[in-house]
Amino acid sequence: MHEVSVADSLLKIAVDECRRSGYARINNVRVSIGKASGVMPEALLFAFDALKADTIASGAALTIEEVPVAGHCSACNSDFTTDESFVLCCPMCGSSSYSIHAGRELDIKDMEVD
Ligand SMILES: [Zn+2]
């Protein structure tokens, strides 16, 4: 399951960051996940909960913010967002002359630590 390795690296980053800042406990981790990132939020939550047990994040909650896929079409010059997880053509005009500028992210936004 892809989400296990994603949760594992998120957890490592969070723990490293927390330790480097001199804190001992992570209470909350907020991540933004693009709909086109290929990560299922439910599966990520499940994996995070399973992996956090023996870490300083054992009491941490994972808050997931889903980012919709957004792009710009150069054929009709419009910006668009979509609820789909991928884009095959511009939803406005059907052209394939578009670029995606949001929806692939997988980032830690912030954390609450003690
Ligand atoms: Zn278009």
Each residue's pLDDT tens digit, 13-27: 999 999 999 999 999
* Ligand 1 center from residue 103 Cα (angstroms): 18
Compute the mean pLDDT over every residue in the chain, rounded to the nearest whole number.
Answer: 95
CA of 98 to the centre of ligand 1 (A): 7
- In what side-by-side order are the strands of the sheet with 78-82? 78-82, 69-73, 98-102
pLDDT of residue 73: 98
How large is the average pLDDT for residues 70-91?
94
| Residue 32: pLDDT over 80 | yes
Residue 37 has pLDDT above 70, yes or no: yes
The pLDDT of residue 85 is 87
106: left (phi over 0), alpha (psi -120 to 50) or beta: beta
What is the 45 CA–ligand 1 centroid distance (Å)?
36
Neighbours of ion ligand 1 (CB under 5 A): 73, 75-76, 90, 92-93, 95
Q: Ligand 1 centroid to 69 CA: how many Å?
A: 15
> CA–CA separation, 33 vs 18, rounded Å?
21
Domains and CATH numbers, the chain: 2-68+102-113 (3.30.2320.50)
* pLDDT surpassing 90 at residue 1: no
